[in-house]
Chain A
């Protein structure tokens, strides 16, 4: 029981940054923009979050700084890929490279320093329920934010007019423009939101997951988040399921190694990506489902005519 609880708690902790970053990227991609720079925004969020919390002693300032660092990177991406209409794939990749380099540079003097954890938010009564209590109700703020975020995104995308407009922009930006929708404004806001989420996910890594700063501490989680969005075929609730599945795989991998189960760790590490490919193959079998869920103008630049 104790061990099971410990394992589940680590899975939740491992899944939360994936969920945060993937939910943000889902909104970005629903608007028709493919930002491959999630890893870069995340690592900047990690270093920014760590530094702000370390220097001020306030973990909540760290969370805020993570969000702002992620948004800063997203703004750069937006300026290049939206205002200047550069190739989104190349720009996203460049953003990741810049982010990793810049974060290493900024964080260099602080490598190895102990970070500041945000307090767990105990809810009196609920937190005391055996097993479920500590798992669901005695957690750090990131956990609650991530769940609220998914609920919020579902509500926004499928139950509000701006959410509908965002999906329309992602489906066909020419049509949207013809109807007088401000395509670039929607995309900027979506990209900034995605940056905020990725930054927050990064801050979770340097404040909760391993409360310290070390180089490349995102370790490819940004890429997993990107894969997750496809895995979930652009549906937020499936992102939730997928994030916990991928989280479980990454933790299970560690335990499998500890128990000496003879599966190469590389195979397990590759599992999320393999799963994404399988899902892509499955959903591409059904053209109709693909059409309905895939943002049709994903990755295409939009230049309004005079």
Chain B
């Protein structure tokens, strides 16, 4: 143990918290110096959120000591934490949509400060840190990035000495991330400490001076991120090597496509949707095709047409295994050996409040006769199926058959992928396979997709993550404003070229030609 001198801003010793028999935090030690950006790393479910809630007074530790500037303290409530000088920027924003920016700030500040003074203070602070905000705007009208600015400015107005940021970049565009890092570095240079929670390793390496790594509720190590590689940090987080995905696969047989799209055009279904414009492509056995694109450029519309959630007028617009299926529904397409993994894990791919075994029925009961007894559901069979999924995909869950919503993002996604792929599908269409998924789970999901292609299946991956696409895809295209660029071999293109197509520049040329 390191001595806790007065030079430490915050020292924690043996912090523990259990929920029932589950030890969310087990004797966690941590020291934070003034003016440092300290990363708290860990996979989903490693205990980061519990730890942070204890620091912020939202949860009470079962055991352990907290010392603030060398003095032992208790933090019974968030108000108390703020009083000490601990500010928090939440991952899931704690904003009020119906209120104005100034009102949102006023609610969180102690005492009764006139709204007008708060408005001028917040505009001043927001300008000083390059986080422009209008005090009278309604939060409802603001973008995600602007909302985060409110959270940050609200936190800064309380003049904290320690700012806790819980996965602040998970909802930001790359440009917004850069802006945020600028703000954080400025804060650190003013002597404020930042506890930065993330599982994005490159980000942590660029930003943080020290890192503490949590796994299964325990501190498993600390490091100086700049001196490590993303791989070596990931190893500490996961507790094992994250395998580089292995590309061992057969030649792609280009004689007969498994999935064909032929002249697909679709008007937007509502004012927020994107029209699809003359999309055509073929997907062959053993091929992984990647579609890159910024969210909202027609990915969900394309996915819905491919899956049959949205049927089209001409049957030969979409063909599976050479058979026109454009007018058939999703169950008919599943019966032909296709599976579809949608972007939204909770609410689309699973029913959040239903048990996992019940969620097995959701997509499999019409295609897997083993899940039925006559026309009745065979619950025991579904539980066996769940066990099979759990084992193959290494799904970590708190109970034998918990509700879908109780799983962490990564584990739920592993369950969903496992549910779809265990019966050796011929065509796999997946939208954002690893969005918001921890590194370990993401690697195993990508490996699963590669193994499926190696086994002769055709895989279509729609993703915003270029690193992911270049890691696993054989051919790449980009979708921009409902227009799909031609597929090119991944080895013959690079991030810049794809990036240009994503912004629609190359698409314009294509349409002009």
Q: Which of B43-84 contact A (CB under 8 A)?
A: 57-59, 77-79, 82
What's the least CB distance linking B196 to chain A, in Å?
19
A117 at interface by CB-CB < 8 Å? no
Structural contact, A288 and B140, CB atoms closer than 8 A: yes
Q: Which stretch (B88-96, B211-219, B290-298, B304-312) binds chain A?
A: B88-96
A139 at interface by CB-CB < 8 Å? no
Q: Which stretch (A55-63, A78-86, A175-183, A200-208) binds chain B?
A: A175-183
Q: For the complex, give the distance between the alpha carbons of A306 and B61 in Å.
A: 11
Q: For the complex, give the distance between the alpha carbons of A178 and B19 in Å.
A: 19
Structural contact, A164 and B106, CB atoms closer than 8 A: yes
Structural contact, B95 and A172, CB atoms closer than 8 A: yes
Q: For the complex, give the distance between the alpha carbons of A293 and B480 in Å.
A: 37
What's the least CB distance linking A296 to chain B, in Å?
6
Q: How many chain A residues touch B (Cβ–Cβ < 8 Å)?
A: 24
Q: For the complex, give the distance between the alpha carbons of A243 and B311 in Å.
A: 51
Q: Which of B78, B79, B97 contacts A296 (CB 8 A)?
A: B97
A291 at interface by CB-CB < 8 Å? yes
What's the least CB distance linking A125 to chain B, in Å?
38
Which B-chain residue is minimally distant from A182 (CB atoms)?
B77
Structural contact, A178 and B98, CB atoms closer than 8 A: no
The residues of B that contact A291 with a CB separation of less than 8 Å are 97-98, 140
Structural contact, B140 and A165, CB atoms closer than 8 A: no
From known contacts A179-B78, A179-B108, A288-B141, infer whether A171 and B96 are also in contact, taking CB-CB under 8 Å.
yes
What's the least CB distance linking A156 to chain B, in Å?
13
Structural contact, A168 and B78, CB atoms closer than 8 A: no
Q: For the complex, give the distance between the alpha carbons of A160 and B58 in Å.
A: 26
Q: Which of B78, B97, B103, B138 contacts A172 (CB 8 A)?
A: B97
Structural contact, A174 and B94, CB atoms closer than 8 A: yes
What's the least CB distance linking B383 to chain A, in Å?
29
The residues of A that contact B78 with a CB separation of less than 8 Å are 178-180
From known contacts A291-B140, A292-B140, A306-B19, infer whether A168 and B96 are also in contact, taking CB-CB under 8 Å.
yes
Q: Which of A178-207 contact B (CB under 8 A)?
A: 178-181
The residues of B that contact A175 with a CB separation of less than 8 Å are 93-96
Which B-chain residue is minimally distant from A175 (CB atoms)?
B94
From known contacts A291-B97, A306-B19, infer whether A161 and B112 are also in contact, taking CB-CB under 8 Å.
yes
Query: Total A-B pairs in contact (CB under 8 Å)?
Result: 66
What's the least CB distance linking B333 to chain A, in Å?
35
Q: For the complex, give the distance between the alpha carbons of A291 and B94 in Å.
A: 17
Q: For the complex, give the distance between the alpha carbons of A293 and B59 in Å.
A: 32
Which B-chain residue is minimally distant from A179 (CB atoms)?
B108
Interface string of B131-146 (1 = CB under 8 A from A): 0000000101100000
Q: For the complex, give the distance between the alpha carbons of A242 and B238 in Å.
A: 62
What's the least CB distance linking B60 to chain A, in Å?
8
Q: For the complex, give the distance between the alpha carbons of A84 and B34 in Å.
A: 44
A221 at interface by CB-CB < 8 Å? no
The residues of B that contact A294 with a CB separation of less than 8 Å are 98
A235 at interface by CB-CB < 8 Å? no
Q: Which of A258-306 contact B (CB under 8 A)?
A: 288, 291-296, 305-306
Structural contact, A296 and B98, CB atoms closer than 8 A: yes
Q: Which of A152-176 contact B (CB under 8 A)?
A: 160-161, 164-165, 167-168, 171-172, 174-176
From known contacts A179-B107, A179-B108, A288-B141, infer whether A171 and B99 are also in contact, taking CB-CB under 8 Å.
yes
The residues of A that contact B108 with a CB separation of less than 8 Å are 179
Structural contact, B59 and A306, CB atoms closer than 8 A: yes
The residues of A that contact B141 with a CB separation of less than 8 Å are 288
Structural contact, B106 and A161, CB atoms closer than 8 A: yes
The residues of B that contact A168 with a CB separation of less than 8 Å are 96, 99, 103-104, 107
From known contacts A178-B58, A178-B78, A292-B140, infer whether A171 and B106 are also in contact, taking CB-CB under 8 Å.
no
Q: For the complex, give the distance between the alpha carbons of A127 and B30 in Å.
A: 74
From known contacts A288-B140, A291-B140, A306-B19, infer whether A180 and B57 are also in contact, taking CB-CB under 8 Å.
yes
Structural contact, A292 and B90, CB atoms closer than 8 A: no
Which A residues are within 8 Å of any B CB, using their own CB?
160-161, 164-165, 167-168, 171-172, 174-176, 178-181, 288, 291-296, 305-306
Residue pairs across A and B with Cβ atoms less than 8 A apart, 25 shown, are A160-B112, A161-B106, A161-B112, A164-B99, A164-B103, A164-B106, A167-B99, A167-B103, A168-B103, A168-B104, A172-B95, A172-B96, A172-B97, A175-B95, A178-B58, A179-B94, A179-B107, A180-B58, A180-B79, A288-B140, A291-B97, A293-B98, A296-B98, A305-B59, A306-B59
